[in-house]
Amino acid sequence: MLRINNLHAGIDGNAILKGVNLNVNAGEVHAIMGPNGSGKSTMANVLAGQMDYEVTDGEVLLGEKNLLSLSAHERACEGVFLAFQYPVEIPGVSTIQFLKTALNSIRKYHHLDELDAMDFLEQVKDKMQQVDMDESLLYRAVNEGFSGGEKKRSEILQMLVLEPSLAILDETDSGLDIDALKTVADGVNAFRASSNQGQERAIILVTHYQRLLNYIKPDFVHVLMDGRIVESAGPELALELEAKGYSAWAA
Amino acid sequence: MNASERFCTAYTQSSASLRDQHQQLPWLKTLRENALHEFAAQGLPKPYDEDWKYTRLKQFEQLEFCRAERPASLLPEQMSISLPTCEVGYRLVFINGWYMEHLSTLDHLPPGLVLCNFARALSEYSVDLEATLGNVADREDQPFAALNTAFMEDGVFLQVAADTVVHDPIHCLFLSTASIDDARPRVSYSRLHILLEDNAELSVVEHYLGIKGSGIESLGMKSSGLEEPDSENNELENNHNFTNSLTEILLQPGASLNHYKLQCESPDSSHIAGIHVEQQRGSQFTSHNLSLGAALARNDIRIKLTGENAKCCLNGIYLVGGHQHVDNHTQVDHLVPSCCSEELYKGVIQGHARAVFNGKVVVEPDAQQSDARQINKNLLLSEKAEVDTKPELQIYADDVKCSHGATVGQLDAQALFYLQSRGISKTDAEALLVYAFVSEIIEGIDHPGVQQLIQAPVLEQLSHLIGADSIRLQPQMPTSLTKSGEGVLCH
């Protein structure tokens, strides 16, 4: 589904990603781990089309499509979703209006009719229950005054509503207490499970800690160090990292 | 002859109808001539005039205006545009300052409401007008208020009897048409006189709309009404109209007025207006002032809080692009104790446009326990856009709460990316954010018909500024459940 070949990227002339290679197949969950500053968030943002980052080399294919040639909104319409580490507050735009505009934009891109307002609302309410979100948040401005947990739940809700094929979760576990972490993990697992129902889905989890991986079991764990993937293995690698730290790969 | 002298000369040559009026109403002649003297003494504002520091009238001064001819009487089906309407309510329509009876709907006025065009009121309600006309408006430091008082011919007269609550809004629609030939630019002086007796309640929409062509069906295609600024003008058309309007409002104890002003003049016209209000004890004045059109727009809003516990809420939106210039000067005088004034003005400025906001609050020594708040927020959409914002607090009492704040910013790049990362195109994301910036004021409009009337041209102007085809709003959920960011004033 996703093929990253020799990806180089940076910001303001500073190289951050220095040749990332990664293949993600439909149905798989990949965890990207690594110390602070190793390039994890940069990778997530570059894939989502954050134009502050400059791609200097390499290619990224989503299916047959050259992802790097698409704008951020086109990537979203093609099925890429980034759950933000720090979700942005948008005063004056209600969450429900935002979700509806987003979903209808994606539908329009695929030449589908807009959803009926009432059907849409029912769908969203069902999915809110899945992530244990209070319905009143729908009518509040996007992320405005949301607690850390509410913001992360809202990211997962958006993922469930927009139904992307590739979800990239950037430190979605950070700042969550254990109950919220479980709820968020349940949401992600539900999303993952739905790929068995004929939907092609893959997940990239960007995380510091092994903790999240207790709840969302990855198929592969990769260690990102200084802009390169230096080790890839099964879920047992996360446990090893938890025990030994990253020093074994330090240059 | 300079511009001020030209206006004075025009007065001496003024129409036969004015002279007839003066024979009938000697007090009106005195009022006009006093006003003319006040205008002549001040002249047009000069560049060194502090209140006009950022708004130069150099180009305006070069124009030689004449009064528009009275248009032929028109029926609604003869109009080339479908007139914008409130869902319900009463409507008075003017074309180039002239009252159009057949386009107006004043049937079944409720008891306690007197509503008619100003010219008619001069004959039918001259006793009421003699007692109150010109009493509220400041003319000494307001040359355009003086000018309007000298030349006013028609407009709206509104009087609401004590304890009368009028539910349906009064829609006052002032249309300006383009000149078809190479005639001189035209001026119209509209006057609104609004008097609410004790505990009366009323909503009024003052709506200025520039239309293409003459407004007559046979001469023009049906158009949507509001012109696109920068659109290609027919060379034969001269849209440089000048509207000089003045609204005087007297609110007696406990009265409550919702006043909406929607200015959508043609792109190269000038609009210089005053709204002067006297508020007696416990009265409430809520203003929504929207400035979308005109090359040069200036509003002077003056509120005098003369009775305790009076409250005013001034909300404003200005949306300008191209080479438009908009200037809002507001002044609230707290003359007595325990009054409250709130002000929220928001502007979106694009292209080479320039906006001026000057919010003056004067708290007199006696006005203890005054509560005055003022906020002005601006969104600049281009590098060349400019805003000059100035709060001006003069506080002579010691037990008061006063605050003010002004911001100037750009669209939040992070918010834009966030929206785009959810599949929303850049243009749509911008539209969403820009509308969100002004939506708290529009969604604070209580009356759904008025809200719709105002929302449509706001969206049209915003989409023009952003370069979007159109802004589509996803239907809103029940407003009772929505929570706006920072609390809209007074709703």
End-of-domain residue from the set B411, B429, B444: B411
Asked if A120 reaches chain B (Cβ–Cβ under 8 Å), the answer is: no
Which residue among A73, A94, A141 places its CB closest to the CB of B420? A73
Same-domain check for residues B407 and B449: no
CB atoms B428 and A144 under 8 Å: no
- Domain of B387, in residue numbers: 67-411
Assess whether B242 and B120 both reside in one domain: yes
Those residues with Cβ within 8 angstroms of residue A222's Cβ, 6 or more apart along the chain or in another chain: A22, A30, A31, A32, A33, A229, A231, A232
CA-based nearest distance A104→chain B, Å: 9
Q: Work out the pLDDT band at A196, boundaries 50, 70, 90.
A: low
* pLDDT computed for residue A19 by the predictor: 94
Residues of B in contact with A48 (CB under 8 A): 421
Mean pLDDT of B31-47: 93
Query: How confident is the prediction for chain A on average, in pLDDT?
Result: 92
Residue B278 lies in a domain: yes
- Count of domains forming chain B: 2
d(CA B226, CA B210): 6
Better pLDDT: A250 or B420: B420
If one counts every other C-beta atom within 10 angstroms of the C-beta of residue A190, the result is 14
Inspect the interface and report whether the beta carbons of A101 and B483 lie closer than 8 Å. no
pLDDT at B222: 41
Q: Is A91 on the interface with B (CB under 8 A)?
A: yes
**Res. B166: pLDDT tops 60:** yes
The pLDDT confidence band at residue B16, using thresholds 50, 70 and 90, is confident
Asked if the Cβ–Cβ distance from B485 to A141 is below 8 Å, we say yes
CB contact under 8 A, A92 and B420: no
Mean pLDDT of B37-51: 92
- Residue A238 parent element (H or E): helix A236-244
Same domain, B285 and B428: no
Residues of A in contact with B469 (CB under 8 A): none
More reliable by pLDDT, A35 or B191: B191
Any idea how long chain B is?
491
Residue to test with chain B: of A90, A99, A165, A170, most B Cβ within 10 A: A90
Identify the pLDDT of residue B230.
Answer: 42
Domain boundary among B377, B411, B445: B411
Whether A112 has its CB under 8 Å from any CB of chain B: the answer is: no
Dist. CA A21–CA A7, nearest whole Å: 7
Read off the pLDDT band of B182 (50, 70, 90).
low
Mean pLDDT over A124-153 rounds to 93
B262 pLDDT above the threshold of 50 = yes
| CA–CA min distance B485, chain A (Å) | 6
- The dihedral sign for the CA sequence A133, A134, A136, A140: negative
Rounded to the nearest angstrom, the minimum Cα separation between B409 and chain A is: 14
> A121 contacts in B (CB within 8 Å)?
477
CB contact under 8 Å between B420 and A93, yes or no, is no
CB contact under 8 A, B420 and A84: no
B320 and B283 fall within a common domain: yes
| Residue B303: predicted pLDDT | 98
Contacts for B390 with CB less than 8 Å, ≥ 6 apart: B357, B358, B359, B406
- Residue B64's pLDDT band, with cuts at 50, 70 and 90, is confident
CB proximity B51 to A under 8 Å = no
Confirm if B341 and B312 have CB atoms less than 8 A apart: yes
Between chains, do B423 and A50 touch, taking CB under 8 Å as contact?
A: no
Q: Please tell me if residue B423 touches chain A, with a CB cutoff of 8 Å.
A: yes
Chain B contacts of A93, Cβ < 8 Å? 432-433, 436
Instruction: Look at residue B181 in the predicted model and tell me its pLDDT.
Output: 61
pLDDT value for B21: 80
Same-domain pairing of B161 and B94: yes
pLDDT of residue A219: 94
Q: How far is B416 from chain A (nearest CA, A)?
A: 9
- Is residue B396 domain-shared with residue B427, that is, in the same domain? no
Nearest residue in chain B measured CA to CA from A118: B477
Q: Nearest-CA distance from A28 to chain B in Å?
A: 22
Measured in angstroms, the CA of A98 and the nearest CA of chain B are apart by 8
Residue B481 has pLDDT above 80, yes or no: no
**Average pLDDT estimate for A193-203:** 77
- How far is the alpha carbon of B480 from chain A, nearest alpha carbon, in Å? 10
Domains within chain A, CATH numbers bracketed: 2-249 (3.40.50.300)
pTM for the full predicted model:
0.88
Q: How far is Cα B261 from Cα B206, in angstroms, rounded to an integer?
A: 5
* Predicted local distance difference test score (pLDDT) of residue B126: 93
Q: Which residues of A touch B475 (CB under 8 A)?
A: 117
Q: How far is residue B291's CA from residue A5's CA, in Å, rounded to a whole number? A: 53
A42-51 per-position pLDDT tens digit: 999 999 999 9
Sign, CA torsion B17/B21/B22/B24:
positive
Calpha distance B172→B300 (Å, rounded): 19
Across the range A80-107, mean pLDDT stands at 94
Tell whether B378 and B420 lie within a shared domain.
no
Decide if A139 and B420 are in contact by the 8 Å CB cutoff. Answer: no
Burial A55-94 (b: 16+ CB within 10 A, else e): eeebebebeeeebbebebbbbbbbbbbbbbbebbbbbbbb
Measured CA distances, B192 to A32, B4, B111, B145, B164 (Å): 69, 24, 21, 12, 20
Query: Under an 8 A CB cutoff, do B428 and A105 touch?
Result: yes
**Residue A133 DSSP SS3:** coil
Tell me whether A209 touches chain B (CB under 8 Å). Answer: no
To 10 degrees, what angle do helices B3-12 and B143-151 make?
20
Mean predicted confidence (pLDDT) in A36-64: 94
> What mean pLDDT do residues B161-186 have?
87
B474 pLDDT above the threshold of 90: no
For residue B423, give the nearest of A73, A87, A121 by CB distance: A73
Of B357, B392, B411, the one marking the end of a domain is B411
Higher per-residue confidence, A242 vs A129: A129
Q: Which residues contact B473 (CB under 8 A, 6 or more apart)?
A: A97, B435, B459
Tell if the CB–CB gap between B474 and A100 is shorter than 8 Å. Answer: yes
The more confident residue out of B75 and B272 is B272
On whether the CB atoms of residues B52 and B45 are closer than 8 A, the answer is yes
CA distance A139 to B482: 5
**Closest by alpha carbon to B485, among A176, A110, A89, A170?**
A89
pLDDT at B24: 85
Q: Per-residue pLDDT averaged across B173-202, rounded?
A: 89
Average pLDDT, chain B: 88
In a domain, B50, yes or no: no
Interchain CB contacts (distance < 8 Å): A and B: 105
What pLDDT sits at residue B233? Answer: 41
Whether residue B160 is predicted with pLDDT greater than 70 in this model: the reply is yes
Three-state SS annotation for chain B: CCHHHHHHHHHHCCCHHHHHHHHHCHHHHHHHHHHHHHHHHHCCCCCCCHHHCCCCCHHHHCCCCEECCCCCCCCHHHECECCCCCCCCEEEEEECCEECHHHCECCCCCCCEEEEEHHHHHHHCHHHHHHHCCCCCCCCCCHHHHHHHHHCCEEEEEEECCCCECCCCEEEEEEECCECCCCCCEEEEEEEEEEECCCCEEEEEEEEEECCCCCEHHHCCCECCCCCCCCCCCCCCECCCEEEEEEEEEECCCCEEEEEEEEECCCCCEEEEEEEEEECCCCEEEEEEEECCCCEEEEEEEEEECCCCCEEEEEEEEEECCCCEEEEEEEEEECCCCCEEEEEEEEEECCCCEEEEEEEEEECCCCCCCEEEEEEEEEECCCCCEEEEEEEEEECCCCCEEEEEEEEECCCHHHHHHHHCCCCCHHHHHHHHHHHHHHHHHCCCCCHHHHHHHHHHHHHHHHHHHCCCCCCCCCCCCHHHCCCCCCCCCC
Which of chain A's residues have a Cβ under 8 Å away from the Cβ of B440?
Answer: 92
Helix (H/G/I), strand (E/B), else coil: A199: coil
State which H helix or E strand residue A47 sits in. helix A40-48
Query: Is B12 part of any domain?
Result: no
Residue-wise pLDDT for B359-400, tens only, equals 999 999 999 999 999 999 999 999 999 999 999 999 999 999
**Given a cut of 90, is residue B429 above it in pLDDT?**
yes
Question: Is the minimum CB–CB distance between A47 and chain B shorter than 8 Å?
Answer: no
Contact B130, B227 (CB under 8 A): no
pLDDT at B180: 62
Please list the residues that pair with B392 across neighbouring strands. B360
Q: List all residues 6 or more positions away from B138 whose beta carbon is below 8 Å from its beta carbon.
A: B145, B276, B302
B423 and A139 within 8 Å at the Cβ level: the answer is no
Supply the pLDDT for residue B20.
78
Percent of chain B with pLDDT over 90: 72
Residue B51 pLDDT grade (very low, low, confident, very high; cuts 50, 70, 90): very high
Phi-psi domain of B201 (left: phi exceeds 0; alpha: psi -120 through 50; beta: other): beta
With contact defined as beta carbons under 8 Å apart, do A30 and A24 qualify? yes
Residue B485 has pLDDT above 60, yes or no: no
Q: Hey, of A11, A53, A84, A105, which one would you mutate to test binding to chain B, going by the most B CBs within 10 A of its CB?
A: A105
B491 and B371, same domain (yes or no): no
Nearest to B290 by CA among B197, B209, B354: B209
**Measured between CB atoms, does B479 come within 8 Å of chain A?**
no
Q: In whole angstroms, what is the distance from residue B268 CA to residue B213 CA? A: 14
Whether B260 shows a pLDDT value over 80: the answer reads: yes
B248 and B153 in a single domain? The answer is: yes
Do B379 and B440 belong together in one domain?
Answer: no
* DSSP label at residue A218: -
Burial B116-142 (b: 16+ CB within 10 A, else e): bbbbebbeebbeebeebbbebbebeeb
In a domain, residue B407? The reply is yes
Residue B490 has pLDDT above 80, yes or no: no
CA of B174 to nearest chain A CA: how many angstroms apart?
Answer: 32
pLDDT value for B18: 76
- Per-residue pLDDT at B283: 98
Q: A198 pLDDT band (50/70/90 cuts)?
A: low
What DSSP state is assigned to residue A139?
G
User: Looking at beta carbons, which residues of chain A come within 8 Å of B427?
Assistant: none
B478 domain-assigned:
yes
d(CA A195, CA B71): 70
Q: What is the chain B residue with the closest CA to A158?
A: B422
What is the pLDDT at residue B78? 78
**Cross-chain Cβ contact B423/A76 below 8 Å:** yes
pLDDT of residue B268: 87
SS3 A114: coil
Q: Do A139 and B440 touch (CB under 8 A)?
A: no
pLDDT over 50 (residue B282): yes
Kindly report the nearest CA distance between residue B433 and chain A, in angstroms: 7
Burial of B14 (0-12, 13-18, 19+ CB in 10 A): middle
| Residues in chain A within 8 Å Cβ distance of B420 | 49, 71-73, 76
Whether residues B395 and B416 fall in one domain: no
Residue B401 lies in a domain: yes
Within a domain: residue B18? Answer: no
**pLDDT at position A103:** 95
- Residues B437 and B393 both lie in one domain: no
| Total Cβ atoms within 10 A of residue B383 | 9
Q: Strand B154-160 to strand B113-117: parallel, antiparallel, or no bridges (unpaired)?
A: antiparallel
Distance, in angstroms, between A240 CA and closest chain B CA?
Answer: 34
CA B332 – CA B82 distance, rounded (Å) = 38
Residue B477 in this model has a pLDDT that exceeds 50 = no
pLDDT at B414: 95
- Alpha-carbon gap, residue B345 to B340, rounded angstroms: 17
Residue A41: per-residue pLDDT: 93
Q: So what's the pLDDT on residue B224?
A: 45
- Looking at the domain assignment, is residue B15 inside a domain? no
Under DSSP, is residue A197 helix (H, G, I), strand (E, B) or coil? coil
